[in-house]
Structure 1
Amino acid sequence: METTFDLENITGLSEEEAAAILKNEGYNELPSQKKQSLFSIFLNVLKEPMLLLLLIAGTIYLFLGEVRDAFILLVFVFVVVGITFNQEIKTERALEALKNLSSPRALVIRGGEQKRIPGREVVKGDIIILREGDRIPADGVVLSSTNLLVDESLLTGESLAVRKCESTGLTHSLKPEQLGGDDLPFVYSGTLVIQGHGVAQVSETGIHTEMGKIGKALGTIAEEDSLLKKETAQIIKTFAIFGGILCAVVVIVYGLTRGDWLHGLLAGLSLSMALLPEEFSVVLLIFLSMGVWRLSKRNVLVRRMPAIETLGASTVLCVDKTGTLTLNRMILNSLFSKGEYCELEKNKCLLEKFHELLEFGYLASQRDPFDPLEKEIKRNTEKFLSNTEHIHEEWKTVREYPLSKNLLALSNVWKSPDSGKYVIATKGAPEAIFDLCHLSEAEKEELSAHVQEMANRGLRLLGVAKASFQDDSLPEKQHDFEFEFIGLLGFVDPVRPSVAQSIKECYKAGIRVIMITGDYPGTAQHIARQIGLENPDKYITGPELANMDQQELSEKIKVTNIFARVVPEQKLTIVNALKQNGEVVAMTGDGVNDAPALKSAHIGIAMGERGTDVARESASIVLLNDDFFSIVAAVRIGRRIFDNLKKAIGYIFSVHMPIAGLALFPILFNLPLVLLPAHIAFLELIIDPACSTVFEAEPEEKNIMNRSPRNLQERMFGRKNLALSLVQGISMLAGVIAVFLYALHMGKGEADARTLTFATLVIANLTLIVANLSWSQSLIKTLSSENKALRYVLVGALSGLVLVLYVPALRSMFRFSLLHGDDLLIVCLVGTLSIAWLRLLKSQINNNI
């Protein structure tokens, strides 16, 4: 609606008043997650138990005067701290870089002058000027509007812009009753002006806006710990209790039998490091960090690492239509004129009978439009009608008749310099155009059938009409012209090109897809059929959902894949209902309205390019390129990560048995110590993290996307996994102890026995890696696979072993002796055979372990 509003008579707030309000109420911005300081990151790194044990052991060595051993341990500490600290810093920077949608700038009237200020400095009571392309900085009441259309899809999910009208009451007493809908005098923070202009007075800022209320509601949703985190915590607790008791026994036994309590403490620390329960968490963190890095290469940012574990278990994907399944931009797809249809995408040239329809659709639009519909009309007009008589560059606009509550149509009056008469072009809702053209009931009925047919195809329709006028004085109302109906323009919000294939991939992987949208059911069903969504004929609307009890919703949601005309709270209700049915829910979205559901879902997937900060901070995963296909890629990678993580954890469980056994065995039987803290640190620092990299880099199983989603309750350390790990660990321990006893039996000294045993342990360790990478193929085939990380680790570990064995300075630091050819033969044979014999059991072992 058009009103007269004199900006020159408005003074707005003074700078002093605005400053006082700003000081009292704070900045116009939403609270964000607190950024970690460098000092807090450093403290968190130093809290790792392995580092603390290394520091304690290094201090004891210094106290004993053994500076060389202390130096080795401190070097390990600095290396681990550096790697972990660098990873934390990179994560913080990635999250900070993602917040690329900073506070919009606002045009306000302060002290009678118009000025642009940062949106965060807007205060309650400010007068803001709204123009095409502006993002509204705060909630407000419209004082004046001229053809003002606002895109509120961030809040309502409705892809179509809504009309705004000016308020008629006292602005301070007005409160918005419900978001969305045409002809309301309210505007909201974060929404976008796509057409017209207006003036509004700010009513709420910051957390008090509608966007802020949704952000505040996120704090009431508790995040759930992942199954893997809970399981790992239980294992850590068990190991901690058992390991603590055992280490205390070792210190006491060593001190009583050998009379050396400080070295007994070192022996206890060695056993602690061998049994350290947090070691599982450290390896898990490293492995998942590598997964985060790999996903980032696919334009997928993981904000919460447990989401990687849950990805492969997803059974339902709840998808917000606007901007996720579709491109969120209207494309002129279909024309209707003179009883015939024309599909533009199928035509390189346009038949003459449709020229007039495009011509007057263009004349009823702005010359340089911002509105996406008018941009699309202009693009097609220039494409099909350039260099024809239907383009009137010399015509001048004389008057505009804007949209109103009573007439959903707008008209532009043009004057032709040749004929001197006025030409009027109008476009708007088909019913309004029918009314302007004074059609008979029979004509209306006939055209309404065509309108319904096009609407059923998911098209948004605009009617177009024309008129001419000879008098010098133009009428006040559009109804005073004699309009002639020309035709209909049909616009479609196109589906993303990769969506249909992605939906097929989801169904193949046993993942159900549900569309949740604020649009009408007809539009949703049309999109559903385009993308191949199952059961497109069944849907539930928001009002229907509001009247359902929990039991009815739980039943109907099992077979319904379309939810239309829903409001934000209902999206959260849908996600929670699915969770109560035992589904593992992934939810995609980009708007503020999606944030609660994103946070409540097992996996929240936000859009990075057009998504809001609130949505991104609530989500577990952010698609940096907004590509729906990336979701399927993320699921594939998630399944691969979980498969390989399972293998890696099994390996870690196995390898700790011989390490712990070698730390404990000599003490119980009063034999020379084999493993000192430096040796265990060597193994932990080089082999375990490196092996995590190898397992992470292992290619996916061929059938990974043809399986049903794994049960989220499936334990990482199930009976089969535990049994296999125990067999492998006991076999390794038997081999290295056999070598150790053999060396002592042959009269070799402490250094010789330690060297032989340690080298055998390293070879057995590397064999264990290869054996656990794949139980479906031979060791030789595994070694020749495309896993470059495996070759790097094997070469690196063997090179490190050679260096500590044959470089005199390093050999002395590790208290080793020189190995000869026959020694190396024993090391290689025992180290390899202690694991290789288990390959004979592969036919009895489930490949999915």
Structure 2
Amino acid sequence: VWDNDPAAGDRLVAAKGAPEAIAGLCGLSSAERAGLKAAVDALAGEGLRVLGVAEARWPAGALPDSQRDFPFVFRGLVGLADPLRASVPEAVRQCREAGIRVIMITGDYPQTAMAIARQAGIDSEDLLTGEDMAALDDAGLKQRIRTVGVCARIMPEQKLRLVEALKTAGEVVAMTGDGVNDAPSLKAAHIGVAMGGRGADVAREASSLVLLDDDFGSMVRAIRMGRRIYDNLRKAMGFIVAAHIPIAGLALLPLLTGMPILLGPFHIAFLEMIIDPVCALAFEAESEEGDAMKRKPRPPKATLFSPALVVWSVVQGGVVLGVTGGLTLWLWSQGAGEGQLRAAAFLSLVLGILALILVNRRFSASVAAAMRGPNLALGVVLAVVAPILAATQFLPPVAGLFGFARLDGGEAAAVLVLALAVLLGLERLKPLWAARLAA
């Protein structure tokens, strides 16, 4: 209500809101409402948010108790364009490929919601309105929400009910919002995601995550990063188990066969200086798998170190132990000295561990494909290890420190060929486990 000039007499009263609500205030006839609906549908079909506008005059003095008592006259419609960010359609597509279902929940007019959903790539075939939702009990809503892609004309309290229905249906629910009215549903969701730029303080406080750039695409990037971290943790765990099997085996082999001790504390400490940086730095820096965003979400109760990964780690470690131990036993049977046995066992073990690193960089791709992906941390580790291994053979002080004797050409060739055989053999075996490891 404007009362800028009391001497002018009547005051100007204006109203704006949902077209159907403004039509009710103006007391439009059925025919007028039908024409209004057609105009609203036309604007909404273009993805515009549509508001109705009305005007009334009121004399000086007390105002009525209700806005319905003003003699409103309908003045027209306003269509507001709120274009999608350019990243949204691609982000929705990636969500669909990743097995993540995107549901649009809005207070907008149904036609507007469906037009925006189509632009974003969200399934808009099945629409649920707030009015339809109010007519459903909890069991009916749980069943209905399984196929809904767009929820329109939703009241704030209904958002919370939608989140609870999805949770009851067994879904893991992430909810985005920015307003005060979104806070209950953000809190109720498994993961509440608030907008940090335009979001209300209470929405940010109620959320688990805050998007600083208010971009839906940032959520998809966060999902990609989460899947990469999860995969890299599993790769590091699998590598640790696989690498320690041949270390333990070579430490026990002399006790079982009577040959000289192969690995002393110094050798094992050196091996750990390779294994630890690889786990802490190299695998952590590994880029995501090519199919990271094409897999279905893992079950919430899925174990980090799955039975398939345990078996694959034992197989890898067993192969390295078999090749390294077999080479050492063969050299011992040929009368090789203690220094040569220790050098052959250690070098073949280190090269076998390097083969395990290369094989485990990718679950879903070959070593050749993995090598095309940069990993500075791994490059640094290899650049440090290679000169030290060379020094153990060509620098007598270093060789004496390790207790090694220099291998002849045939023995060195055998070590290199067997290390390459380990790498190629595990690469041939990996596809048998690839699907299980990705699950």
TM-score > 0.5 by shorter chain: yes
Q: What CA distance in whole angstroms lies between the structure 2 residues aligned with 1:714 and 1:742?
A: 43
Aligned length: 421
Query: How much does 1:515 deviate?
Result: 2.8
The one of 806, 817, 830 equivalent to 2:404 is 817
SS in 2 for 1:605: strand
**CA shift at 1:523, angstroms?**
6.0
Q: 1:717-736 CA deviation, whole Å, 9 max, x = no partner?
A: 55544443322211111222
CA distance in 2, matches of 1:707, 1:732: 31
Question: For 2:322, which of 709, 725, 734 is the aligned residue?
Answer: 734
Name the SS for the 1:534 alignment partner.
coil
Say if 1:598 and 1:829 are closer, same or farther in 2 by CA, change over 3 A. farther
Partner of 1:491: 80
Q: Report the counterpart of residue 534 of structure 1 in structure 2.
A: 123
1:540–1:560: 8 Å Cα contact kept in structure 2? no
- CA shift, 1:648, in A, is 4.1
Residue equivalent to 1:450:
36
1:614 CA displacement? 6.3
1:192-341 equivalences in 2 (<5 Å): none
Change (3 A) 1:784 1:515: closer
Kindly state the Cα deviation for residue 580 of structure 1 after the two structures are TM-superposed: 4.0
Per the TM alignment, residue 532 of structure 1 is displaced from its structure 2 partner at its CA by 3.9
Q: Which amino acid aligns with 2:123?
A: E
Distance, in Å, in 2 between the alignment partners of 1:725 and 1:452 is: 65
Give the secondary-structure state (helix, strand or coil) at the position aligned to 1:512: coil
How far 1:765 moved relative to its partner? 0.8
AA partner of residue 16 (structure 2): A
Shift of 1:807: 6.5
Note if contact 1:666-1:672 (Cα within 8 Å) is conserved in structure 2: yes
Contact kept? 1:462, 1:488, Cα under 8 Å: yes
2:147 to 559, 573, 583: 559
For residues 407 and 6 of structure 2, what CA distance do their matches in structure 1 show?
A: 100
- Between the aligned partners of 2:268 and 2:230, the Cα distance in structure 1 is 27
**Residue type matched to 1:737 in 2?**
G
**Cα separation, 2, equivalents of 1:829 and 1:424:** 95
1:513 is the counterpart of 2:97? no
Which residue type is aligned with residue 418 of structure 2? V
State the AA in 2 paired with 1:558.
R
**Structure 2 CA distance, aligned partners of 1:482 and 1:600?**
43
Give the distance between the partners of 2:60 and 2:146, measured in 1 at CA. Answer: 58
In terms of fraction of residues, the more helix-rich structure is 2
2:164 is equivalent to residue 584 of structure 1: no
Deviations, residues 731-783 of structure 1 (Å, cap 9, x unaligned): 1112222344455553523x55434322221111111222333476654x347
Letter in 1 for 2:417: L
Aligned residue type for 2:374: N
The residue aligned with 1:754 is 342
- Could you state the TM-score of these two structures normalised by the residue count of structure 2? 0.73
Superposed CA offset, 1:507-555 (max 9, x none): 3333211234466767655544553432455315399469623x33332
In structure 2, C-alpha distance between the alignment counterparts of 1:592 and 1:653, rounded to whole Å: 49
**How far apart in 1 are the matches of 2:27 and 2:360?**
80
For residues 805 and 423 of structure 1, what CA distance do their matches in structure 2 show?
103
Q: Where does the alignment leave 5 or more consecutive residues of structure 1 unmatched?
A: 1-402, 404-409, 416-420, 468-473
User: Quick one: which amino acid aligns to residue 585 of structure 1?
Assistant: V
Distance 2:56 2:182 in 1: 42
Which residue of the partner structure matches residue 548 of structure 1?
137
Change (3 A) 1:538 1:738: same
Check the 8 A contact 1:535/1:561 in 2, yes or no: yes
The answer to which structure, 1 or 2, has the higher relative contact order (CA under 8 A, 6+ apart) is: 1
CA distance in 1, matches of 2:266, 2:206: 43
**CA shift at 1:429, angstroms?**
3.1
Q: Is the 8 A contact 1:607 1:622 kept in 2?
A: yes
Aligned residues of 1:805 and 1:816 also touching (Cα < 8 A): no
Instruction: Report SS of the residue matched to 2:99.
Output: coil
Q: How far 1:627 moved relative to its partner?
A: 0.8
Indicate which of 200, 220, 224 corresponds to 1:636. 224
Structure 2 counterpart of 1:627: 215
1:427-506 pair list within 5 angstroms: 427-429=14-16, 446=32, 449-450=35-36, 453-454=39-40, 457=44, 459-461=49-51, 463=53, 475-476=60-61, 487-506=76-95
| 3-state SS of paired residue (1:463) | strand
Please state how far the C-alpha of 1:661 moved relative to its aligned partner: 1.8
- 1:686 pairs, out of 252, 274, 295, with 274
In structure 2, what residue type is equivalent to 1:429?
Answer: K
Tell me, in whole angstroms, the C-alpha distance in 1 between the residues paired with 2:171 and 2:22. Answer: 48
Taking the aligned partners of 2:270 and 2:101, their CA distance within structure 1 comes to 47
1:736–1:601: structure 2 CA closer, same or farther, 3 Å change rule?
farther
* CA gap 1:683/1:573 in 2 versus in 1, 3 angstroms: farther
In 1, Cα distance between the equivalents of 2:430 and 2:27?
A: 82
Residue identity in the other structure for 1:449: G
1:581 and 1:803, CA in 2 relative to 1: closer, same or farther beyond 3 A? farther
Partner of 2:361: 773
Distance, in Å, in 1 between the alignment partners of 2:27 and 2:218 is 52
| Structure 1 residue 502 displacement after superposition | 2.5
Following TM superposition, by how much is the alpha carbon of 1:628 offset from its aligned partner in structure 2, in angstroms? 0.4
Q: Provide closer, same or farther for how the CA distance between residues 807 and 611 of structure 1 changes in structure 2, counting only shifts above 3 A.
A: farther
Return the match for 2:240 from 643, 652, 674. 652
Write the distance in 2 (CA, Å) between the matches of 1:809 and 1:606: 62
Structure 2: distance between partners of 1:844 and 1:441: 70
- SS across alignment from 1:429: strand
CA contact (8 A) 1:520 1:565 kept: no
Give distance in 1, aligned partners of 2:135 and 2:27: 40
- Measured at CA, do residues 785 and 557 of structure 1 come closer, stay the same or move farther in structure 2, by a change above 3 Å? same
Residues 731 and 834, structure 1, Cα contact 8 Å, conserved in 2? yes
Which residue of 2 is the match for residue 247 of structure 1?
none
Asked if structure 1 preserves the Cα contact closer than 8 Å seen for 2:348 and 2:416, the reply is yes
2:289, 2:362 within 8 Å by CA — same for their partners in 1? Answer: no
- Shift of the 619–655 alpha-carbon distance from structure 1 to 2, 3 Å rule, reads farther
Hey, what's the Cα distance between the residues in 2 that align with 1:478 and 1:614?
A: 34
Task: Give, in whole Å, the separation in 1 of the partners of 2:210 and 2:28.
Answer: 53
| Cα separation, 2, equivalents of 1:807 and 1:614 | 67
> Structure 2: any 5+ residue segments left out of the alignment?
65-69
Look up the match of 2:67.
none
The change in CA–CA distance for 1:663 and 1:492 in structure 2 (over 3 A counts) is same
Structure 2 CA distance for partners of 1:778 and 1:460, relative to 1, 3 Å: closer
1:509 corresponds to which letter in structure 2?
A
Q: Given that residues 118 and 124 in structure 2 are in contact (C-alpha distance below 8 angstroms), is that contact kept between their aligned partners in structure 1?
A: no
Q: Which has the higher strand share?
A: 1
The AA in structure 2 aligned to 1:799 is: P
Determine the C-alpha separation between the residues in 1 that align with 2:27 and 2:189.
Answer: 53
Q: CA RMSD in A?
A: 4.7
Q: Distance in 1 between matches of 2:324 and 2:16?
A: 83
Percent pairwise identity: 39
